[in-house]
Amino acid sequence: MREISVELITDTIAQMCIEANCCLNEDVHTALERAKQKESSPIGKEILCQLTENADIALQKNMPICQDTGMAIVFLEIGQEVHITGGLLEDAVNEGVRKGYEKGYLRKSVVEDPFLRVNTKDNTPAILYTKIVAGDNIDITVAPKGFGSENMSRVYMLKPSDGIEGAKKAILETVEQAGANPCPPMVVGVGCGGSFEYSAYLAKKALLRPIGSHSDKKHIREMEQELLQKMNDTGIGPQGLGGNTTVLGVNIESYATHIAGMPIAINISCHVTRHCHKVI
């Protein structure tokens, strides 16, 4: 049994909230640079240049890439040989978010009730997913999610007869209808299969995968490649002002599902697609 203190969890999460918000991930940087070369719209190209310049300023000043520093989504994979000491895990995570958002000058964007809408002023609570795995480490992913793009996300409960073509149609339709709203170029995470809520969880997990990585499954990999092309052929372009850079990446995760169903969830993200990963 390895002991891990709640203080270590709190401090790690606090640091990760700041890092995820202020440092644009390398895969996004590379994808933006590549898109700049290929973009045929002059305004589109200018916008892509603004986004890389913006990321450079954010990194240099250690300030958030975007003012929407998101709601903190935290994934913990906890080794079953770990004993957490000194307090409760959930409190430790929320304390980490509280500290990180304060120390990092990140925006507090969480309200305590969807209808009463009073700001909690410290960006808590986080949304926490835990999984018990083998080993004696804790694998932490912090993925603060902005809501301009979150609002454009959807779950479809398709029929098995809709097939892979039906799924592609639903995914493409979601991106087309999102249009200019989620700050394109977007990153698209898709969850296929599972149940109603699990498909959405998979879509969120898909956004954590690097841009340009592909599924091991041939039919899913082909789907990712075909959809990326079709999304960029919509003409939506950077900020919805026209061009051929609408989407930087399409990541699809799939899972077993029920004989009667085919849930498809699409989680739209902006170019920032904040996420930070550490093992303690």
Partner 1 sequence: MNVSVPFTAEQAKKLKAGDVVNISGVIYTARDAAHKRMLEEYDKTGKFPFDIYNQIVYYAGPAPAKPNEVIGSVGPTTSYRMDVYSPVLLRFGLRGMIGKGIRNNEVIQAMKQYTGVYFGATGGAGALLAKHIESVEVIAYEDLGAEAIRKLVVKDFPVIVIIDSEGNNLYETEPIKYRK
Q: Strand 154-158's sheet: what is its strand order? A: 154-158, 262-269, 186-194, 247-257
Q: Which of residues 122-181 bind partner 1 (CB under 8 A)?
A: 148, 151, 179-181
Q: Which of 242, 277, 278, 280 binds partner 1 (CB under 8 A)?
A: 242
Distance (Å, rounded) from C-alpha 18 to C-alpha 15? 5
Among 85, 119, 213, 225, binds partner 1 (CB under 8 A): 119
DSSP type of residue 210: P
- Report if residue 53 touches partner 1, rule: CB under 8 A: yes
Stretch that binds partner 1, among 63-71, 154-162, 197-205, 217-225 (CB under 8 A): 63-71
Whole-number Cα distances in Å, 97 to 24, 81, 123, 150, 226: 19, 25, 7, 20, 38
Distance in Å, CB of 240 to partner 1, minimum:
6
Residue from 108, 154, 169, 221 binding partner 1 (CB under 8 A): 108
Taking CB under 8 A as the rule, does residue 240 contact partner 1?
Answer: yes
By CB under 8 A, the residues from 184 to 223 that bind partner 1 are none
- Contact segment (CB under 8 A) with partner 1 among 64-72, 80-88, 126-134, 209-217 equals 64-72
**Three-state DSSP string of 106-167:** CCCCCECCCCCCCECCCCCCCEEEEEEECCCCEEEEEEEECHHHHCCCEEEEECHHHHHHHH
**φ and ψ at 241, to 5 degrees?**
-100, 20
228 binds partner 1 (CB under 8 A): no
Contact, 167 vs 160, CB < 8 A?
no
* Choices 45-53, 165-173, 195-203, 208-216 (CB under 8 A): range interacting with partner 1: 45-53
Give the binding range for partner 1 (CB under 8 A) out of 10-18, 65-73, 197-205, 257-265.
65-73
Q: Is the bond leading into 185 cis (omega within 30 degrees of zero)?
A: yes
Question: Which of residues 270, 274, 275, 276 is near partner 1 by CB under 8 A?
Answer: 270
Q: Does 106 bind partner 1 (CB under 8 A)?
A: yes
Residue pair 45/126 in contact by the 8 Å Cβ criterion: no
Exposed / middle / buried, residue 216 (Cβ in 10 Å: 0-12, 13-18, 19+):
exposed
Which stretches of the chain bind partner 1, using CB under 8 A?
40-41, 43, 47, 50-51, 53-55, 57-58, 61, 63-69, 105-109, 117, 119, 121, 148, 151, 179-183, 233-237, 239-244, 270-272
